[in-house]
Structure 1
Amino acid sequence: MNPGGRTWTKATASGDNGACVELAPAGDGWIALRDSKNLDVPPLLYTRAELAAFLDGAKSGEFDHLLT
């Protein structure tokens, strides 16, 4: 399933188990985020700035406490 003809990207660390978070450009500066195991749910949309802020926080370890 590929709604809107988007090219989805997932992290290589996700493997092929079908439980991945995927990202795709959604036009006009938006980025779509979806759960690959739940394709019937519409993707969430974020601006480039919002996603950049999240990725910066993830890279700096701000969310690591959620994984323990």
Structure 2
Amino acid sequence: MSESMPGVAWHVSTRSDGIGGNCVEAGPLADGSNRVAVRHSKAPDGAVIVYTRGEWEAFIGGVKDGEFDFIA
């Protein structure tokens, strides 16, 4: 089922391959809540996960610290 997220300014990483659409899109919710929506670029009408500002900051911090470097 589609998760309508009107007003979200979706962003795709510049590191995306741009060929197969294998990337995530993220954007701030337009309601001023400081929450971030995330979806798969191949399924823009599919499920959306919404994170609080604290959750998003924790995730980004973990990425920067290398905590998600699962592929060697």
User: What TM-score do the two structures reach when normalised by structure 2?
Assistant: 0.78
State the 4+ residue runs in structure 1 displaced beyond 3 angstroms.
none
2:6 alignment partner, SS class = helix
User: Partner residue of 1:6?
Assistant: 8
In the comparison of the two structures, how many residue pairs are matched?
A: 66
Kindly indicate which of the two structures has a greater share of residues assigned to helix: 1
Give CA-to-partner distance per residue, 1:28-53, whole Å, 9 cap, x none: 12100011012232210001110110
Structure 1: any 5+ residue segments left out of the alignment? none
User: Partner residue of 2:57?
Assistant: 52
User: What TM-score do the two structures reach when normalised by structure 1?
Assistant: 0.82
Determine what percentage of the aligned residue pairs are the same residue: 39
Instruction: Between the two structures, name the one with larger relative contact order (CA 8 Å, sep ≥ 6).
Output: 2
Q: Using the alignment, how far apart are the partners of 1:58 and 1:42 within structure 2?
A: 23
Backbone CA RMSD of aligned residues: 1.7
Q: Using the alignment, how far apart are the partners of 1:62 and 1:51 within structure 2?
A: 14
Q: Using the alignment, how far apart are the partners of 2:24 and 2:58 within structure 1?
A: 17
